[in-house]
Amino acid sequence: MRNMLIVTGLLVFVVVLVVPAAIVSFYPRPSLAPQTPESKQGADLVEKGPALKVFFADDDQLKEMWLEDYLVGVVAGEMPAKFEEEALKAQAVAARTYALRRLKAYGGSGCAKHPEADICTEPSCCQAYLGEKELRRRWGVFSYPEYYLKLSDVVASTYGLVITYDHELIDPVYHASCGNLGTEDAKAVWGNDVVYLKSVQCQYDSSPHLETEAVFTFKDLEQQLEEKVAVPVSGGLDLQVLERTGSGRVKELRVGTATMAGTEVRKRLGLNSTGFTWRLDEAGKVVFTTYGKGHGVGMCQYGANGMAKQGKDFTTILKHYYSGVEVEPPPGINP
């Protein structure tokens, strides 16, 4: 009996510790740790692109790293690594365009929130970015080498390519899911007409955000909207859509005696998108149903993955979501 326990213990040790270690050592050990441009010269400058000053929000530090290294972390942060390669390539090109447009060394705008940086790792300000430690935690010991090498190859295969309109870098905004409503016109969201950010059809989205619900009491709604929404006597809800955008999202609605933009209601209630409807349930609570996730402008990330599954390449995907653009080397910039 004792010998059996010893053998069992040894088997557990081998399976839990030795086998994973052997598998990991079989792969080259990839790393997303920022590399300092000062440590590389010559050919590496061509392979890695220009240097970026990146503000890392998690540790409140400004670090300099190569553009192409940075892009691997951005693609990892912005799209699931299991996505189709052509969708990931589209994301890589969009992310490269976004970064170069903000690179101050080439006349870019820099990071609005952190003026000392070209770009930061806060998704609400610039682009999402995940470093090695977080990716090892998310992907696990078995999947990390596979996914890291996949994303590295994706970025490398699109090296030097950006999205342009009339030979100028575009602002390649993107969102998680359009909910198959189609994408939104930039003017409907931000008030500015952008020639390449027009509403386009999208029936490729199969995301978990296609249709989601958020439930509120009348008290919750009135507190968050800062308006009376309960109709006296009848107990109804004093909300009315006044105008919808071309894609069917809520542009403006009446909330009690006030008029609010759909974007403001979405922000106050924490809804996934401005593509929403509402109803009263049997318990007298207000149920908002939202379609998609994000502002809806530019590339739909889950839609891009759907297009890739249908055999579309990354250039076709980008030209679908950004009207009238080209995918080419950056004008006047050594990538």
22 inside domain: no
pTM beyond 0.75: yes
15 inside domain: no
Degrees to nearest 5, angle at CA 74 with 267 and 27? 140
Rg (CA), the chain: 24
Q: How high is the pLDDT of residue 101? A: 94
Residues 120 and 229 in one domain: no
Residues 286 and 182 in one domain: no
Task: Identify whether the C-beta of residue 154 lies closer than 8 Å to the C-beta of residue 146.
Answer: no
244 inside domain: yes
19 inside domain: no
* Residues forming beta bridges with residue 290, ordered by sequence position: 212, 276
Tokens 């009207």 found at: 323
12 inside domain: no
Over residues 222-247, the mean pLDDT reads: 83
Model confidence pLDDT, tens digit, residues 119-135:
999 999 999 999 999 99
- The answer on pLDDT for 227 being more than 60 is yes
80 inside domain: yes
Task: Identify whether the C-beta of residue 87 lies closer than 8 Å to the C-beta of residue 311.
Answer: no
Residues 316 and 189 in one domain: yes
Tokens 């919750």 found at: 220
DSSP state of 306: H
Q: Other C-beta atoms within 10 Å of 135: how many?
A: 22
| Cα 65 from Cα 253, distance rounded (Å) | 46
| pLDDT top residue among 218 and 88 | 88
Model confidence pLDDT, tens digit, residues 177-222:
999 999 999 999 999 999 999 999 999 988 999 999 999 998 999 9
Residues 165 and 268 in one domain: no
Task: Identify whether the C-beta of residue 250 lies closer than 8 Å to the C-beta of residue 276.
Answer: yes
Model confidence pLDDT, tens digit, residues 264-298:
999 999 999 999 999 999 888 999 999 999 999 99
Q: Other C-beta atoms within 10 Å of 187: how many?
A: 16
Total domain count for the chain?
2
Domain that residue 240 falls in: 212-290
Residues 319 and 183 in one domain: yes
Residues 234 and 110 in one domain: no
Residues 286 and 301 in one domain: no
Residues 216 and 276 in one domain: yes
| Cα 259 from Cα 264, distance rounded (Å) | 10
Residues 174 and 314 in one domain: yes
187 inside domain: yes
Model confidence pLDDT, tens digit, residues 90-124:
999 999 999 999 999 889 999 999 999 999 999 99
Residues 310 and 248 in one domain: no
| Cα 155 from Cα 332, distance rounded (Å) | 21
7-24 b/e with 16+ CB inside 10 Å = b?
Answer: eeeeeeeeeeeeeeeeee
Residues 126 and 240 in one domain: no
65 inside domain: yes
Residues 272 and 303 in one domain: no
> Residue 79: which of 138, 120, 5 has the closest Cα?
138
| Cα 73 from Cα 134, distance rounded (Å) | 10
